[in-house]
Structure 1
Amino acid sequence: MQDIASAAAPTRAGLREWLGLTVLALPTLLVAVDINALFLALPQLSADLGTSGVEQLWIIDIYGFMVAGFVTTMGTLGDRIGRRRLLLAGGAAFGVVSVLAAYSISPAMLIACRTLLGIAGATLMPSTLALITNMFRDAKQRGAAIAVWATCQFAGAALGPVVSGILLEHFWWGSVFLPAVPVIAVLLLAGPVVLPEYRGPDAGRPDLTSVALSLLAILPIIYGIKNLAAGTDSPAGPIAAIAAGGAFGAAFARRQLRLDHPLLNLRLFAQRPFTLVLTALTLAGVAMAGTGLLVTQYLQTVLGYAPAQSALWFAPMGLAVALGTLLTPALTRSITPKTAIAGGLALSAVGAGLLVAVGSGDGPATAIAGVTVLALGTGPLFALGTAIVVGSVPPEKAGSAASMSETANYLGGTLGMAVLGTVAAAIYHQRMAGAVPADVLGEAARRAQETVAGVGTAAAGLPPADAAALVQAGQDAFTSGLHAVGLISAALFTVLAALIAGLFRPEPANQHG
């Protein structure tokens, strides 16, 4: 085994490192695809396994819960036991459990498999990013490599529903898990050959108390946010979960500041570039997730597209982020990173603003153009910002920094769907409060005031003219919510662009190695 204490990496990467990047792209794509793999398969698997509504929610959400809860622990664990070792072990577990998930015979078995997949997935993302940081010590090469990594991440998220849709056209619901098997096989065969091992020479033993506190902080917060976003009848439980997570988070923070070898180095927030970029990554995730959620719902509930059609129409958003990250290294040959990030965020504000022009009777063009421009503008932030975060620490601590970047992205996405989704739902409810005819009663009226799908059910028993008016009112109300989310997102991107332009002062390149 080679570790940092005993061997210095070459200044510039060679053929082995670039081949290693190709291998690292595979688990990056895999985790991104797997996050969205089950959305289109849910109706089939529910009919086959007989899942309840609560079980469906756990099947979908538990994977993300586990990734969010364990990514910090796994990033630091890789620093201590070796990143290649953790990557290969996590990859092997991911492959085995994917097969078990594909052939699940009960909802409980599938939930258990998704739980284990989330824990295994948490080992893959920080390990890949940390290895890239160690393999590519030259700043320009590292920037290009991280851009490729980010491109794979967002391309995978965009292609996940498309791949699932194609598989479901020909095979059973479990087939969406099986693409992981050949990907993991390549990783396990090629990884030991082209990936070097890295670990911190002075890493202490894992602090299990910090691990427990981090889980007790993150999981209740994510749980509470998701349940509030789902419109639970009693918000007391989710709010209590968020409060409990916040209390454990405060205890976690106090412990990290006292430890010589913390699980998470909170002192990094004293560095302005680090704090600005992590804030930007989180808030950009809020805007992207919120607009993405509303546009996918617009495609299905207002325009009436099937899920597979919606996935194809929505793919340009993920592909635009991928293109933006891939083009960033070439862009920074002529402009500074600060200009690239701030300019990209300003472009994203324009894209979010386009969503205000979407009409309920329009086709998909304006909405897709808006989220595509928005996504394209975030490319420099995700490519350069991620490099800034992992470059803020010595190479032997890159796994911990990578996990912070991933946590910011996931937390931003969760907040975006929860907060902006709730804003849109409130606007819809307010607009529909007086729009439901008096002869629509009880549960049908309540559902019509909550969702466009409920409007369709309520309209079925009305005279044609009244039914058409109610459907139009529902579509207009939903589009008003989309407009509000577009305005909020445009404001977020504008503020972030101004903060980066005015306050960002990058640290000297290669300060840690």
Structure 2
Amino acid sequence: MFTTQTPQLRAGRREWAGLAVLMIPVLLISIDNTVLGFAIPAISTGLHPTGTQLLWIVDIYALMLAGLLVAMGSIGDRVGRRKLLVIGALGFGLASLLAAFSTSAEMLIASRALLGIFGATLMPSTLSLIRNIFLHDRDRRVAIATWAAMFSGGAALGPIVGGFLLEHFHWSAIFFINLPLIAIFIPAAIMLLSESRDPNPGRIDPLSIALSMLMLTPLVFAIKHVMADGVDVLFWVSIAVAVVAGAGFILRQLATPNPMLDVRLFANKVFTSAVTSNLLSVMGLAGFLYFGTQLLQLVLGLSPIQAALILIPGLITSIASGYLAVPIIARLQPRVVVPCALVLNAIGMGIVAFTPEHSVLGMAISFLILGIGLGTAEVITNDLILAAVPANKAGAASAISETAYEFGSVLGTSVLGGLSTMVYGSALQSTIGAKAGQSQYETLGSALEYAAGLGGSAGDRIAEAAVAAFDLGVQWAAGAAVVLVLIAAVLTTFGLKGAGRLLPGTKADSMESQAKDSAAAEIC
């Protein structure tokens, strides 16, 4: 199949301008994924959510993204990726306004769900358009490095922007930042992006979409429920629904000639290892941002803007390491670089997990190291994922990659955030007794607000107990993240054997890979 070789066209000014336009929705999605970080204390005291509702406020966005990315990638392949981008951007702006004017925890959860739905229309088109715009392997790697840098950089930038806005405005201001970006993006996309679609798209499959949501949503609910209430009948029912729906989804994809999600791609161990690496590394980042931003403000006493500044070195290194990964991978095998990057992630988390007393400097160093590892791994794994498929199937591969990102974000908040919340509640209850079951102790923010209102020695005792309990929860969650990332490092060490054959430009670059890229260029 891959026998015809043609010169790969280098990108021109229009292509690079198109890349700049595509970075706007990437920033929108990644910033909104983490911008709530520094707003959590303000939302806790403003809307008074329960601990579970607070997790849902953070998680529902990424959950809807994860559940609908594959479906939206398939729709974009069918109706046109640029068209879907523009429609999604309009909806994203309207949902942002609804979130900004939320007056209850339930309304904010619903608004964040809408943001996730429209966000799912944006993400698959960005990476698949990059695969179709940039035909030359070097241009594509630089473009993917830019995409990864913007994605990880935007994830780190979210709390920084949120911290700045919260210093001067109401917490709802964090949703208004989407509007000027959307106003710039829509006309620029129409002018600079060419329409792109799959010439042989799969049909829109409502049943597969429903099965994917029935797989993910009960699973996340079960994780949150077991952290809050332990193992009970509701937990097992949720797990059973998720397993049955997941099995039904996989069987339906295998039985369909042109499936919504080509699960056969996971038979390629390089593809699977790269996707797993993305999921677990983002899971660690999401957990860090969930508990780290609260720790900086509520435990270490920083203002939102001061806490945001602590993350800037990590943001810079995350972006820089993504670009440095391009020349590094030209000399070293992916199976060496990716595990080493994941070990750096583990070291960054380990500083938080095993430091007896947290400090501002320790948190800054932790995020700095985490940024280096994350930025390096993302560029390489995304190039591996895209190189494994022909250009006309880039939408499906992109959707799988981005689903791993978003589901990793969901799991990071659900598992690691839920673990920290569970340990916090247990430790606080053992310290102050039955009062820990009351609503004012649901979150650290509400506990400190209650303690301040109570005043005196009793208030001081409650505040000290709440801070100590939260600090213990953070250590447990960070320790769990270390274990998960080290597991990913071991898996990629063995799973990325032969990955050089899928990554043009490395020393292991083979004629088969070059021929495959040439054929993909012809398809474009």
Q: Bin the TM-score by the shorter chain.
A: 0.7 to 0.9
- 1 CA distance for matches of 2:56 and 2:468? 33
Higher helix share: 2
Aligned pairs for 1:46-125 (under 5 A) are: 53=50, 59-103=57-101, 110-125=108-123
Distance of 2:420 and 2:107 partners within structure 1: 35
- Determine whether 1:411 maps to 2:407: yes
1:216/1:245 contact within 8 Å kept: yes
Partner residue in 2 for 1:509: 513
CA distance in 2, matches of 1:378, 1:122: 22
Residue in structure 2 matched with residue 255 of structure 1 by the alignment: 252
Q: How many residues align?
A: 499
Question: 1:40 offset after TM fit, Å?
Answer: 4.3
Q: Does 1:381 align with 2:374?
A: no
Compare 171-180 and 464-473 and name the one that shifted more. Answer: 464-473
Moved more, 292-301 or 83-92: 292-301
Distance 2:354 2:163 in 1: 30
Separation (CA, whole Å) in 2 of partners of 1:448 and 1:422: 18
Equivalent position amino acid for 2:161 in 1: V
* Residue 319 (structure 2) aligns with: 322
Q: Deviations over 1:238-272 (max 9, x none)?
A: 44223212211110100100111100001111112
1:71-110 deviation per Cα after TM superposition (whole angstroms, max 9, x unaligned) = 1100111111111111111112222333444445776665
Matched, 1:277 2:313: no
Alignment pair present for 1:242 and 2:246: no
Given that 1:102 and 1:175 are in contact with CA atoms closer than 8 Å, whether structure 2 keeps it comes out as yes
> What letter corresponds to residue 174 of structure 2 in structure 1?
V
C-alpha deviation, 1:59, in angstroms:
4.7
1:290 aligns with 2:287: yes
Correspondence list, 1:348-427, <5 A: 348-360=345-357, 362-424=358-420
The aligned amino acid for 1:401 is A
> Which one-letter code corresponds to 2:262 in the other structure?
N
8 Å CA contact 1:226, 1:414 repeated in 2: no
Please give the alpha-carbon distance, in whole angstroms, between the structure 1 residues aligned to 2:43 and 2:459.
Answer: 36
Cα separation, 1, equivalents of 2:70 and 2:239: 19
TM-score normalised by L of structure 1: 0.84
CA distance in 1, matches of 2:200, 2:330: 37
Encode CA deviations 1:144-168: one digit per residue, 9 max, x unaligned: 1011011111221212222233334
The one-letter amino acid of 1:385's match is T
| Residue 5 (structure 1) aligns with | none
Query: Which of 425, 431, 434 is the equivalent residue of 1:442?
Result: 434
Q: Which amino acid aligns with 1:177?
A: F
CA distance in 2, matches of 1:476, 1:82: 48
Give 1:202's match in structure 2, choosing from 200, 221, 226: 200
Are 1:460 and 1:467, in contact at CA under 8 Å, matched by a contact in 2? no
Q: Which moved more, 1:142-151 or 1:35-44?
A: 35-44
* Secondary structure in structure 2 of the residue aligned to 1:380: helix
Q: CA deviation at 1:136?
A: 0.8
Cα pair distance change 1:353/1:97, threshold 3 Å: closer
C-alpha separation in 1, matches of 2:193 and 2:312: 31
Q: What are the superposed Cα offsets for residues 109-137 of structure 1, whole Å, 9 maximum, x if unpaired? A: 65554333221110111111110011012
Change (3 A) 1:51 1:331: same
Deviates more, 1:144-153 or 1:443-452: 443-452
One of 158, 161, 164 as aligned partner of 1:160: 158
Q: Give the distance between the partners of 2:456 and 2:330, measured in 1 at CA.
A: 63
| Aligned partner (choices 473, 476, 479) of residue 481 of structure 1 | 476
**Does the C-alpha gap of structure 1 residues 303 and 31 become closer, same or farther in structure 2, counting only changes over 3 Å?**
same
Q: Is the 8 A contact 1:37 1:176 kept in 2?
A: yes
Q: 1:402 to 1:237 in 2, by over 3 A?
A: same
Q: Where does the alignment leave 5 or more consecutive residues of structure 1 unmatched? A: 1-7
Q: Could you tell me whether the CA contact under 8 Å between 1:352 and 1:490 is conserved in 2?
A: no
Q: 8-17 vs 277-286, which deviates more? A: 8-17
Which moved further from structure 2: 196-205 or 469-478?
Answer: 469-478
Q: Is the 8 A contact 1:289 1:413 kept in 2?
A: yes
Q: Distance in 2 between matches of 1:298 and 1:107?
A: 22
1:176 aligned residue: 174
- Alpha-carbon distance in structure 2 between the residues aligned to 1:264 and 1:472: 45
Change (3 A) 1:154 1:469: closer
Question: Within 2, Cα distance between the matches of 1:141 and 1:124?
Answer: 22
Distance in 1 (CA, whole Å) between partners of 2:441 and 2:81 is 51
161-170 or 388-397: bigger deviation:
161-170
User: Residues of 2 paired with 1:89 and 1:81: CA distance?
Assistant: 11
Further displaced range: 152-161 or 286-295: 286-295
- How far residue 425 of structure 1 moved from its aligned partner, in angstroms, is 5.5
C-alpha distance in structure 2 between counterparts of 1:323 and 1:227, whole Å: 39
**Quick one: structure 1 residues 493 and 305, their matched pair in 2 at CA, closer, same or farther if it must change by over 3 Å?**
farther
Q: Determine the C-alpha separation between the residues in 1 that align with 2:375 and 2:470.
A: 32
Contact 2:269 2:495 in 1 (8 A): no
SS at match of 1:509: helix
Q: Partner letter of residue 80 of structure 2?
A: G
Within 2, Cα distance between the matches of 1:41 and 1:349?
26
Deviates further, 282-291 or 154-163:
282-291
- Aligned identity (percent) is 35
- TM normalised by structure 2 equals 0.82
- Aligned partners of 2:437, 2:92: CA distance in 1, in Å? 45
SS in 2 for 1:348: helix
CA distance in 1, matches of 2:129, 2:460: 63
What residue number does 1:499 align with?
A: 494
Which runs of 5 or more residues in structure 2 are unaligned? 1-5, 503-511
